[in-house]
Amino acid sequence: MRFLEIKHLAAEHLPSAVELDRLCFGGLWAIEGYRRELDSPNSDLLGLWTWETEDCESGQNRAGTGAPPLQIRPMLIGVGCLWAILEEAHIIMLAIHPSFQRQGLGQALLWALLKSAHDRQLERSTLEVRDSNLAAVSLYKKLGFKEAGRRKRYYEDTGEDALVMWRSGLEKPEFQRYLAALKVQMCDRLYEKKWHLAIDIFEL
């Protein structure tokens, strides 16, 4: 069985976060950057971990099968961060380990950030994303973000524009129902891919 857990990062997780950041963004934040987020009461810095257990029911034994070794110790494979500014949730980071992308995990982590924003009674969420980042733009649109404008030549490395996206209505009761329905859908889909999601601190 492959398990997933989403929870807040703690100081002992920061070296793994920096390593994941290097893999996903080529080194966006150093450890001090992550520590600042941990120390800020206005930030939610979330991690997504995975680990495996032997499939007892089927009595499956991997020895001699050529299957990769079990990931028994939890491994950090995703990180997401938001800043609560007035009534807005600014999503400033979202990343999934390259080997674990396209399985619904980015969506699960974005779900958790939006849930966190709802719990903080924030009303809107916003973010900036590279124009060319089709995977991220498509994920944000899937969860209800709309393009609201662009910042010209925002990214210094490539001179690319940033799309500015917004999602409103986070404080409304229907948003809570939306999150609950999405969670069921998400868990079913992850289960089909043999992932078991424990969103323990984000129970609805």
Residue 14 vs 24, nearer CB to ligand COA: 24
CB 7 → ligand COA: shortest distance, Å?
18
- Taking alpha carbons only, the member of 142, 144, 137, 143 closest to residue 161 is 137
From the candidates 34, 37, 52, 140, give the one annotated as an active-site residue: 140
What whole-number distance in Å separates Cα of residue 166 and Cα of residue 61? 48
CB 110 → ligand COA: shortest distance, Å?
8
Q: Which two tokens stand for residue 203?
A: 């129970």
CB 122 → ligand COA: shortest distance, Å?
19
CB 175 → ligand COA: shortest distance, Å?
19
Is residue 37 a contact partner of residue 43, using CB atoms and an 8 Å limit?
yes
From the candidates 128, 147, 160, 171, give the one annotated as an active-site residue: 128
How many of the other CB atoms lie within 10 Å of CB of 88?
17
Is residue 182 a contact partner of residue 111, using CB atoms and an 8 Å limit?
yes
What whole-number distance in Å separates Cα of residue 121 and Cα of residue 125? 11
Q: Reply yes or no on whether 87 is catalytic.
A: no
Q: Residues interacting with ligand COA, by CB under 6 A? A: 24, 94-96, 101-107, 129, 133-136, 138-139, 142
- CB within 8 A of 17, min separation 6: which ones? 9, 31, 34, 47, 76, 79
Residue nearest to ligand COA (CB): 106
CB 11 → ligand COA: shortest distance, Å?
23
- How many CA atoms, within 13 angstroms, populate the side-chain half-sphere of residue 101? 11
Residue 71 vs 101, nearer CB to ligand COA: 101
Instruction: Provide the angle, in degrees to the nearest 10, between the axes of the packed helices 134-142 and 105-119.
Output: 50
Residue 25 vs 62, nearer CB to ligand COA: 25
Helix (H) or strand (E) holding 114: helix 105-119
Q: Reply yes or no on whether 140 is catalytic.
A: yes
Residue 11 vs 181, nearer CB to ligand COA: 181
Residue 22 vs 177, nearer CB to ligand COA: 22
Catalytic residues: 128, 140
